[in-house]
Amino acid sequence: MKRIFASFALLCISFTVMAAALDNTHIGAKANIMGRAFTGLADDASAVFYNPAGLAFQNEGLSLQAYGMYTRTSLWYYGPKDPPPADASPPLEADTISRSTEKVINPEVFAKYRSGKTAFGLGVYTPYGSNKYHYNYVHAVPRNIVEQTLRLTAISASFAYRLADNFSLGLSVSGYYGKYFYNGFNLFGNPGRQSHDFSGFAGAGGNLGALFQASEALSLGLTLKAPVKIHMDGGMSLTEAGVQTQYTGNTEFTLPLYITLGTALRTSDTLTFTLDFNYAFYSKLTDMRFGLTESISASWSAPTGYTDAVYIAVGVDGKATAGLSIRGGIQFAPTPTTDEGLTYSCDLSRLTEGFGIAYKFAPQFELTASFQFFQFFGTRRAVIRQPDAIFPQPYTEKYFHTGMIIMGGFNLSL
């Protein structure tokens, strides 16, 4: 019984890693390279995610957007040796380095159809998660592997209606398919390993948007993404002394409310600037809940250590020639995670800078390409941990993170 609860507690500890990379708003071939400052513009099919009201102002007929996104991340975790030196004095300093370099490819697609004042949209994309890490050498222990993958993929359907010549409302309804995997060592002082695998339909949510075109040059957008309760079922296992024990269980948590204000300013026929301000109520996501569905019934919760988060983004779209557009953007995203909530995913405040181009080979067909780089603030963020089962005295951890995204895709109008 104690082993079951110890395993269960570790599941809670490991799962708190998830939200450090939870918010994955690298959506849309055009919107992403403009720093995701797209709420007040929303002029292509990715408006399904950013602001569904924008669908009602787009060109008549059917359009399709598809792209592939290659993400490469490098994470460094600095921690003490295991076991700690006998003569170590508190706090133990971070003196070993573990590195995780991972590559992820995400294909995503959006479609839109407009007729008169009415428009419909559809999207398949990954707004949360999609990242992973894999450390082979933690706490200076060979083959001490810690790895994790999280993904929440959305299938969204949208409806938009133009209530006036300069004002529209839109609604997106999304279903989420979740996948979470963790494999790591036991934090309770024995050589056991833990493995957790949850997947399946995870929940449903909605996104309400409004778009107001104040003039030919200025438009304003507002979106509300409702909280979403996520539930995933799956299995977990504990391996000790070569013996593996399987359990079934589930996890629940709630994605927070997002409010986004955006504006687009067209200074000329060839130049547009965008600005977004996003507030995420992460402090409402106080914990993550877990349950076992074995012969015994047990439940557990793990605190997240989150605060509310603010994201600010600026974008620009300039037409260099009749067919060539040059785009760029910057987003600043302070981390919502307190020091106590930091884990191997190295959650740090992030500045994302990007540059991209789009070329229209015909009025109905456009190719896009872009590159982004993550620049992290407080790159070696030091945290003094309190004593635990492995390290009986305070110890210091440090975190470092870099990343880049390469994206290529097309827009097709029919």
Query: Per-residue pLDDT averaged across 285-290, rounded?
Result: 74
Domain that residue 26 falls in: 2-413
Instruction: Say how many domains are in the chain.
Output: 1
Cα–Cα distance, 134 to 128 (Å, whole number): 19
Does residue 54 have a pLDDT over 50?
A: yes
Amino acid sitting at position 405 = I
**CATH code at position 346:** 2.40.160.60
- Helix, strand, or coil here: 344? coil
Give the tens place of pLDDT for each residue, 233-282: 888 787 776 777 787 888 888 888 999 999 999 999 999 999 999 998 88
Q: How many helices (H) and strands (E) does the chain have?
A: 3, 19
Q: What helix, strand, coil percent values describe the chain, rounded to 5? A: 10, 65, 25
Do 410 and 367 meet the contact criterion of CB atoms below 8 Å apart?
Answer: yes
381-to-41, 342, 346, 397, 404 alpha-carbon distances in Å: 36, 9, 9, 8, 20
CA-closest candidate to residue 168, choices 134, 115, 212? 212
More confident residue, 105 or 184: 105
Contacts of residue 2, defined as CB under 8 A and 6 or more positions apart, other chains included, come to none
Does residue 379 have a pLDDT over 90?
A: no
Least confident of 4-18, 84-98, 326-340: 4-18
Does residue 383 have a pLDDT over 70?
A: no
The model's confidence at residue 91, banded by pLDDT at 50, 70 and 90, is low
Instruction: Report pLDDT for 387.
Output: 63
CA angle 197/198/204 to nearest 5° reads: 160
Do 250 and 293 meet the contact criterion of CB atoms below 8 Å apart?
Answer: yes
Do 168 and 53 meet the contact criterion of CB atoms below 8 Å apart?
Answer: yes
